[in-house]
Amino acid sequence: MVCPICSSKQTEIKFNLTDEHQVLCCINCGVEFLFPQLNDNELKKLYSENYYVSWGISGKHENESTKQMKTATFHLRLNRIKQYIPSGKILDVGCATGYFLEAAQQIGFEPYGVEFSEYSSSIAKKKFGEQKIFSGTLEESNFPDSAFDVITMFDLIEHVCIPEQTLTKAASLLNKNGIIAIMTPDTKTISNNLMGKRWTHYKLEHFFYFSRSSINYIANRCGLDVVHYERGKKALNINYLYTQLNIYKHWLLTPLINIIHTLLPAKLTARNFYFSIGEMVVIIKKHASNTL
Ligand SMILES: [Zn+2]
């Protein structure tokens, strides 16, 4: 199998994720990838309304503790972004129903979004306007070149079929001093080492698994440089973990969270705490030579 990132033939099977899908690892660039990727029909089915309901982010089933938790995480990300770019046009790729864009708008950014799910993008369009939200993929979008100061891809790059195309398109939409902020699972983490194939980020909708070095490798191929790396902390609360772990069941964590959820008073199960669960945040800029 040829590596879809660097074209090296030095790849090996890491493990079987299902009877039909394997996770492979590239010896050359270090990326891990799912083979075969889900096809369009399988993806459409996965990203239908039920997917968002299960994540507690559907308009109909909006869950207050999920919303509070996600807003707290977005402010962590926005504080980092503001160190580079204090205001301007921000494009959130994979904006879902627009929670992050609402938080960005509140602190002075002009919000734009791209969302694959028609269901979610229709909700985002109602919030920000038809012309601000593109329904489809980033590659299909029709925003003008160099239009954005900040492009965010949170929990996105691991889902796309060809990450190099997505990053190249993002680079073309970015103004010369702009930044791209990416959050994605990081294979070089303690949780990955400890959990192995049971790592919670290994799932069929994740086609690629990067590390600090492999994300830098692909960024360089797109005329970009990683200028900042950190562990990707997220706000979490017990209510959210309880919901998640009863959808994606884990032999140890699911019974554990069920006990905690039963024992703790409701006030505590809704309280946010900050936790790194095997993800990284990187800030990416165009090569210095491209900004002349
Ligand atoms: Zn490779």
Q: What is the pLDDT of residue 179?
A: 98
Q: What is the pLDDT of residue 116?
A: 86
Single pTM value for the model: 0.86
CA of 215 from ligand 1 middle (Å) equals: 11
CA of 34 from ligand 1 middle (Å) equals: 13
CA of 271 from ligand 1 middle (Å) equals: 41
CA of 172 from ligand 1 middle (Å) equals: 24
CA of 97 from ligand 1 middle (Å) equals: 34
Which residues sit with Cβ closer than 5 angstroms to ligand 1, an ion?
A: 3, 5-6, 8, 26, 28-29
CA of 31 from ligand 1 middle (Å) equals: 6
Q: What is the pLDDT of residue 2?
A: 95
CA of 32 from ligand 1 middle (Å) equals: 8
CA of 22 from ligand 1 middle (Å) equals: 16
CA of 1 from ligand 1 middle (Å) equals: 10
CA of 12 from ligand 1 middle (Å) equals: 11
Q: What is the pLDDT of residue 60?
A: 42
Q: What is the pLDDT of residue 59?
A: 44
Q: What is the pLDDT of residue 52?
A: 55
CB of 154 closer than 8 Å to CB of 178? no
CA of 278 from ligand 1 middle (Å) equals: 21
Count of CB atoms within 10 A of residue 166's CB? 21
CA of 55 from ligand 1 middle (Å) equals: 32
What is the set of domains in the chain, with CATH numbers? Answer: 38-235+279-291 (3.40.50.150), 238-271 (no CATH)
**What number of CA atoms fall less than 13 Å from residue 290's CA on the CB side?**
16
CA of 11 from ligand 1 middle (Å) equals: 7
Residues of the chain with pLDDT under 50: 56-61, 291-292
Question: Can you give the three-state secondary structure of the chain, one letter per residue?
Answer: CCCCCCCCCCEEEEEECCCCCEEEEECCCCCEEEECCCCHHHHHHHCCHHHHHHCCCCCCCCCHHHHHHHHHHHHHHHHHHHHHCCCEEEEEECCCCCHHHHHHHHCCEEEEEEECCHHHHHHHHHHHCHHHEEECCCCCCCCCCCCEEEEEEECCCCCCCCHHHHHHHHHHHEEEEEEEEEEEEECCCHHHHHHHHHCCCCCCCCCEEECHHHHHHHHHHCCEEEEEEEEEEEEECHHHHHHHHHHCCCCCHHHHHHHHHHHCCHHHHCCCEEEEEEEEEEEEEECHHHHC
CA of 94 from ligand 1 middle (Å) equals: 25
Q: What is the pLDDT of residue 46?
A: 74
CA of 195 from ligand 1 middle (Å) equals: 23
CA of 28 from ligand 1 middle (Å) equals: 5
CA of 13 from ligand 1 middle (Å) equals: 13
